[in-house]
Amino acid sequence: MKKIIEILRENNLEELSQTQLDRLKASEREKIEKDSTRLYTRSLYTREGILYFVAKEDGEKSLYLCSHRVLPEDFTGQVEQFGDLFLKKAPFSTDNAATLRTVFPFTAPVSLREKRTTIGCGDRLGIASAAHIRAIRKYQAYPVLAQQSIRELNFTNRTFKRIVADAGFQVFQEGYEDGWGADGDHLKSIEDVDTALQAGMPMITLDLTETLHPEAVRWDEPKIEEEFGELPQAVRKHIDQEYRDLVFENRGVTVRLPRLEARRCALMYLDALDFAALMDRHIREHRGEAYDLEISIDETSTATLPGHHLFIIRELRRRGVTVNSLAPRFIGEFQKGVDYIGNLEEFEGQFAVHCAIAQAHGDYKISIHSGSDKFSVYPAIGRYTHHRLHLKTAGTSWVEAIRTIARTEPELYRRMHKKAQDFFPEALKSYHISADISGLPDINTLRDSQLEEYLDISESRQMLHISYGGLLRDSEIRGPFFKALSDHEELHDTIIRKHMEKHLSKLGVKKR
């Protein structure tokens, strides 16, 4: 803490007003360093005679409070006195994050339902948000910094509270006051929704997989008639009246929903839509209108037909469900961390229809899951959505973090690569990808300078992408991996920032 005091005194920081601090923050000087101790300039805030900031000592970031008077007790941490100055080092705990939110409300996640373009960042490591902010704040877009599914939480030994805290501290480090989101991703039960709400997460992505009846997609006419006949009379009457050979037209797009197909939709979706209505009411009771609800039907085995999308949104609206975004399953393959696989023209044709449906039914955002690295389809996505969209990119920042390792710590990279190969069959049980890793070049034959190429080959990129659970829970990898990322913080930040900027610019999102 001595070095911190030296930085403060040499720059006279503890005496500056907020206006003077803001001037310093507006300069290009992102940090002030003394030996290996570093103070993050944009985190400098003064409130009621206390100077707050983020700094890194001995490779570890913490929140610091400094004042001429005794410091308040509500942040926990170690206090030292240096002459007439008190300095407290408050670790990045979930409790300190909660206290920080009371002093600086912008460190709490908010609903982004009014924001046109939102990007789900999904930082699995809890250290990429700063770089995500640096990229996104240059564009007319807003970040959902925290975004994890229950599966990701389990694989990384984290909690919703932890990911919200991690993002909040980085928001503070970057002095980012424009608002950010936090998404409980792919939640399937009221218990999981509650855990996310209790952690203060304003966005819920409701995964309807478990309440859907996808088997009905293959049923023939007699089977549909038989099953439909079992539904309550009021439901049958509503479906037959409402969808008497429905024709939808908007922006030169026509979607037909013949009666038989509407009956099929009823069998496939009504249970799921009732569940969505229940969850929507539940979330509203907790948060008023300050939430974002995303309806996700993307984890199915077949692409969402436009007619089905139409049925789903009409029935959601009929149930009064707030739909801020909806994730269909698109035609072709959106696999983790690699470009779109499929026919571009076919994708574009069907994507345009999904957008026309969304625009005519409340203009909700089309949400693109496994949306990272789909550079070949971004121009079409930007064009048809007019940038009213949500793009989820979780996982790609983890792969790009590994790029930092490949470039700077070849031995560690080799170890990670081999472990990922070993772990791959296990990881495949949780993720659907088509990568065949048997043809990858043998890692022992590559020179150090060639290791990074693995990150640009689809097969190894996907292998590393889905092996995070095994790698991050491996005691021989975890410690050295995080230490390396801390040692090479600047390179890591630059790689993550540039990768995110590439997404935004290919989507055609305007700069601020």
Region class of 58: left (phi > 0), else alpha (psi between -120 and 50), else beta: left
- Among the options 166, 294, 298, 400, which is catalytic? 294
Q: Is position 336 an interface residue for Zn ion (rule: CB under 5 A)?
A: no
Tell me which stretch binds Zn ion (CB under 5 A): 191-199, 236-244, 290-298, 459-467: 290-298
Calculate the dihedral angle through the C-alpha atoms of 218, 280, 145, 392, rounding to the nearest 10 degrees. Answer: 20
Nearer to Zn ion, 210 or 245 (CB): 210
Specify the pairing of strand 181-187 against strand 142-149. parallel
Among 166, 298, 373, 409, binds Zn ion (CB under 5 A): 298
Shortest reach from residue 185's CB to Zn ion, in Å: 8
Q: Distances in Å between the alpha carbon of 206 and those of 272, 276, 425? A: 10, 7, 28
Shortest reach from residue 299's CB to Zn ion, in Å: 6
Using N-to-C axis directions, what is the helix angle for 410-427 and 458-466, rounded to 10°? 80
Shortest reach from residue 275's CB to Zn ion, in Å: 17
Amino acid at residue number 482: F
Amino acid at residue number 59: G
Nearer to Zn ion, 170 or 367 (CB): 367
Tell me which stretch binds Zn ion (CB under 5 A): 125-133, 142-150, 363-371, 465-473: 363-371
Task: Give 3-state DSSP helix, strand, coil % of the chain, rounded to 5.
Answer: 50, 20, 30
Annotated active-site residue 261? The verdict is: no
In which residue are the tokens 């700069």 written?
Answer: 511
Nearer to Zn ion, 369 or 488 (CB): 369
Annotated active-site residue 210? The verdict is: no
Is the distance from CB of 415 to CB of 392 less than 8 angstroms? Answer: no
187 closest CA partner among 280, 253, 98: 280
Distance CA 51, CA 43 (A): 10
Shortest reach from residue 202's CB to Zn ion, in Å: 19
Q: 437-456 mask for Zn ion (x: CB under 5 A)?
A: --------------------
Shortest reach from residue 265's CB to Zn ion, in Å: 21
Nearer to Zn ion, 254 or 430 (CB): 430
Rounded to 5 degrees, φ, ψ at 387 are: 65, 15
Is the distance from CB of 391 to CB of 503 less than 8 angstroms? Answer: yes
Calculate the dihedral angle through the C-alpha atoms of 55, 59, 61, 64, rounding to the nearest 10 degrees. Answer: -50
Which residue, judged by CB position, is nearest to Zn ion in the bound state? 369
Exposure class string for 478-508: b at 16+ Cβ within 10 A, else e: eeebbebbeebbeebbebbbebbbebbbbbe
Nearer to Zn ion, 57 or 298 (CB): 298
Tell me which stretch binds Zn ion (CB under 5 A): 65-73, 98-106, 246-254, 292-300: 292-300
Nearer to Zn ion, 309 or 369 (CB): 369
Shortest reach from residue 298's CB to Zn ion, in Å: 4
Shortest reach from residue 152's CB to Zn ion, in Å: 12
Nearer to Zn ion, 66 or 187 (CB): 187
Is the distance from CB of 146 to CB of 509 less than 8 angstroms? Answer: no
Nearer to Zn ion, 206 or 406 (CB): 206
Tell me which stretch binds Zn ion (CB under 5 A): 36-44, 158-166, 298-306, 474-482: 298-306
Nearer to Zn ion, 292 or 298 (CB): 298
Q: Is position 185 an interface residue for Zn ion (rule: CB under 5 A)?
A: no
230 closest CA partner among 214, 216, 243, 218: 216
Q: Total residues at the site for Zn ion (CB under 5 A)? A: 2
Shortest reach from residue 296's CB to Zn ion, in Å: 5
Rounded to 5 degrees, φ, ψ at 54 are: -105, 135
- Among the options 14, 123, 166, 185, which is catalytic? 185
Shortest reach from residue 330's CB to Zn ion, in Å: 11
What are 157's two structure tokens? 């030994």
Q: Is position 369 an interface residue for Zn ion (rule: CB under 5 A)?
A: yes
Alpha helical stretches, state H, 288-365: 306-318, 344-360
Distance CA 85, CA 333 (A): 59
Residues forming contacts to Zn ion in the complex (CB under 5 A) are 298, 369
Active site residues: 185, 294
